[in-house]
Structure 1
Amino acid sequence: MTIPPAAPITPTQDADQPQERARATNPAADALVVRRITDAWHRVTRWLQHNAPRSLAALRGGASPATIATLEADLGLQLPVELRTLWALTAGDDGVDGAGCLPGNQALMSLEEAADFHRSRMDAQAREDTLNAQRPAEDRFVGWRSAWVPVVSHGATDRASGLYLDTTTGYLGRWSRYREGSDEELDTLVTYLEDAADVLEAPALAVRDTPGLVDGALVWGSGLAPELEDRWRPLTG
């Protein structure tokens, strides 16, 4: 999976310009998204049930509509249907030994973590906006936008990097403490989860990351800790 960097963003745009509005809803399209998100996540969890029960046990239960509505009020925006659907299925991944079950051993963030992280990044952007007012246009920096909702973190307890969902475009982007660059191909939350499910069911398809097992837990090769190398069994087939 390749996704755009979180920073720098076009320097002449402010963090909360009027065009940062939620995408228009389309009932037929939304129904298809709900079905695809649900199907992809059920494929992942069925695989975990049969192959990596420790990773399955680390997943939290789904969030209630009221809890999701509270998060929307906290963030001050309407969550897109794909994210509301996913969080209704599972409201976070507590991980196994710090590793989540998504590619790169990344972890689905809980609603509380997403709200806290969004708030901290908006506070940091507010400080940047103060400095931007004194900078020439070409030097202004936007590292976070209100429409970005953090979804996936580097690990269950590691916020050094991760993925956000841009609620205005539907595409995932990457944030990073180190501001690494990335390729230009974009993923949606739907295609991201479908790709993860495809690779688990048919590891021979893996081109981005290799899934494997360590003592009943799913561990992806790109995030493999050195102390686990002798115990890791990559999947084949």
Structure 2
Amino acid sequence: MPPRSPSGGVADAWRRITGWLWDNAPDSYAALHAGASPAAIAALEDDLGFRVPVELYVLWLLTAGDDGGNGWGCLPGNRALMPLDAVAATYRVKMGAQIHEDTFNTNRPQEERITVWKATRIPVIALGQADSTSGLYLDAETGSLGRWSRYNEGPDEALNTLVTYLEETADMLEAPALALGDKPGLIGGALVWLSGIDPAQKVQWQPWTG
């Protein structure tokens, strides 16, 4: 098997994020898992049936999951990087949903066939540390992120690549005045993004101004 090429963009962006957490949100930093071993990633690839993209491989070598600082994941919307076992379990569920749909697709006209999941999609980010009802997947074929849900809604718009997503997250932490779409802040020692906060907890939330 040929060696993987390095993906410096992911490593640089993730180190910017974790460096910010180390300096400003110790509870969120402490909630990050250690990196996975190459053997653990290879075992997951055996379950998936294909090699994961190099950018995701590099990310998992650095951090293989997020337990959430006081329950909040460190990514925008308080989403959390999924542990490898959760990735495998969610992938099996989603593939099972598509196999079930395919039993009906055989009797549907081509234009009416329903795709709720593609084999190349890898679930990588959950709505929250304790909420895996939805999240983001990385399409190994296109390199784009997309949204998934347990309710198998129709296709959603493609998002950025993993590199761009992490770079934009780091940018929002380092230059919060320029942040678009979400705003970082703190509750105690945890990073909490405004868009994913419970209204009852908003009084505790302190915006991060740099």
Fold shared per TM-score above 0.5: yes
Whole-Å Cα distance in 2 between the matches of residues 74 and 182 of structure 1?
A: 26
AA aligned to 2:39 is A
Q: Secondary structure at the match of 1:230?
A: helix
Q: Which residue of 2 aligns with 1:15?
A: none
Alpha-carbon shift at residue 232 of structure 1 (Å): 0.0
Counterparts in 2 of 1:13-162, with a 5 A limit? 30-31=5-6, 34-162=7-135
Q: Structure 1 226/151 Cα, relative in aligned 2: closer, same or farther at 3 Å?
A: same
For residue 197 of structure 2, what is the aligned residue in structure 1?
224
1:146 alignment partner, SS class: coil
Structure 2: give runs of 5+ residues left out of the alignment: none
Higher relative contact order (CA 8 A, sep 6+): 1
d(CA) in 2 for partners of 1:193, 1:216: 21
> Where does residue 189 of structure 1 map in the other structure?
162
Per-residue CA deviation, residues 152-201 of structure 1 (Å, 9 max, x unaligned), is 010012112111000011111111245377556x3000000000001101
Shift of the 153–232 alpha-carbon distance from structure 1 to 2, 3 Å rule, reads same
Q: Which amino acid aligns with 2:145?
A: L
Q: Which amino acid aligns with 1:222?
A: S
Partner of 2:188: 215
Per-residue deviation at 1:221? 0.3
Give aligned pairs, total. Answer: 208
The CA RMSD measured in Å over matched residues stands at: 1.7
Q: Kindly, what percent of the aligned residue pairs are identical?
A: 56
Does the C-alpha gap of structure 1 residues 100 and 180 become closer, same or farther in structure 2, counting only changes over 3 Å? farther
List, as ranges, runs of 4+ consecutive aligned residues in structure 1 with deviation greater than 2 Å. 176-184
Summarize the Cα distance change of 1:26–1:170 in structure 2 as closer, same or farther, 3 Å threshold. farther
The normalised TM-score by structure 1 is 0.83
Aligned ranges for residues 192-207 of structure 1 at < 5 Å? Answer: 192-207=165-180
